[in-house]
Structure 1
Amino acid sequence: MELIHPLFKWLHIIAGITWIGLLYFFNWINGHFAATLDGDTKKKVVPELMPRALYWFRWGAAWTWITGIVLLLVVFYHGGLTFEDVESGFGTNALVMIAVTFLGVFLYDALYKSGLASNVRVVTITALF
């Protein structure tokens, strides 16, 4: 257990850097570069470059999430940071953390699809709380 935490922490950091770095590449570098290419060059470059870049982008994102979930389990559940006795099993606070993590997405989605979405300040303040 002592080796799992630092191992997954560094895997999480490396995967996150890969994911965010490729996100910057797609948004700022590739978009401007692709706009400067003519049609024939684009037909040669894009089929070679994009599948490789998208492969690393997809797996960088996936491994960031996977290692993040493992770190949550190691630090909070097995590390005893769920504010309950570890021997009592999967506690109430652990369930609340999981519910907030996964159900929060749907709450934000409903908030931004509601009538409040037209007023940016109100929806931002509401989303923060």
Structure 2
Amino acid sequence: DPIVLDWLQFAARWLHVITAIAWIGSSFYFIALDLGLRKSDDLPEGAYGEEWQVHGGGFYHIQKYLVAPERLPDHLTWFKWESYWTWLSGFILLCLTYYMSAEIYLIDTNKIDIPVWAGIAISIASLVIGWFAYDLVCKSKFGDDNTRLMFTLYVVLVALAWGFTQIFTGRAAFLHIGAITATWMSANVFLVIIPNQKFVVADLKAGKTPDAKYGQIAKQRSTHNNYLTLPVIFFMLRTACVRHLSTRQGQLMPARTAKRRSIFLPVRACRRGQDARAVRRGVPLAIRRES
């Protein structure tokens, strides 16, 4: 049912937006917090720095430990669910929009004529393989230099963008660059940052001294996430803008003729029962009147 599908897409899109705001906000907050840390003579042993903040009528005193404090508090707040729900809701939206209407929104038959299942398989494989390739490079000696690593990743993304434009529609190709980058970010949280922090917590509970490398690796991936945030926002917002001006949501098409004036009408394009090429190009309609 197209109406049910529209409501599911609406719910997934808003869940995606809300959780992404929470995730991006917390990411920017901690980068700003790190930059604002100050050292003082009365810091506890092992503390790297502290910061006093005022917000909402209250005062906050925050201290950072590069490894961990000698004793853990009874309650720890984990910043992970924002990332998980952002990626899950984004993938659900990808399935509802691009996979369920792959013949219109995903595959460009003017470029290559492949079955729907092949286009979807390429899409999913790019997310999975993209993560493993990124992770392996980060774990290698090559990944020790963040500047060199970021430049290499930029070249990889450009190559992927070219490859996607040979198969997918322009909008789908653009979205997949954002989806691959967002997958790196969320997988960093799920497979690297949180597990490393759990290793530290487990060592502290067992009375062991945690290895500082876990915190260093987590910090590197967290920094990657921060720098990848703005490109991902650009990719997703740009794709959303194109989508809302596209055929399914309504497209404004002018009919220009000599000595005539065109009135633009939003054209609601039917997802089914129309040729995919015509839908992708848009259906020009206008009410003309004599000037």
Question: Which runs of 5 or more structure 1 residues have no equivalent in the other structure?
Answer: none
Name 1:120's counterpart in structure 2: 148
Name 2:128's counterpart in structure 1: 102
Pairwise CA RMSD: 3.6
Number of aligned residues: 116
> 1:90: how far off?
5.8
The runs of at least 4 consecutive aligned structure 1 residues that moved more than 2 Å come to 29-34, 46-50, 79-84, 108-129
Percent sequence identity over aligned pairs: 22
Question: Which runs of 5 or more structure 2 residues have no equivalent in the other structure?
Answer: 38-48, 53-60, 64-71, 109-114, 160-291
The 5-angstrom pairing of residues 70-85 of structure 1 reads 70-80=92-102, 81-83=105-107
Give the 3 Å change call, closer, same or farther, for CA 123–30 of structure 1 in structure 2: closer
- After superposition, give the CA deviation of every residue in 1:26-47 in whole Å (9 maximum; x if it has no partner): 221367356136xxx668xx95
Q: State the structure with more CA Rg.
A: 2
Question: What is the TM-score of this pair, normalised by structure 2?
Answer: 0.33
Name 2:117's counterpart in structure 1: 91
Q: Does 1:35 align with 2:50?
A: yes
User: Does the Cα contact within 8 Å between 2:107 and 2:116 map onto a contact in 1?
Assistant: no
Instruction: State the secondary structure of the residue aligned to 1:66.
Output: helix
> 1:117: how far off?
7.2
Instruction: State the secondary structure of the residue aligned to 1:35.
Output: strand
Name 2:170's counterpart in structure 1: none
User: Does the Cα contact within 8 Å between 1:11 and 1:67 map onto a contact in 2?
Assistant: yes
Structure with greater helix percent: 1
Question: What is the TM-score of this pair, normalised by structure 1?
Answer: 0.67
Q: Which amino acid aligns with 2:14?
A: W
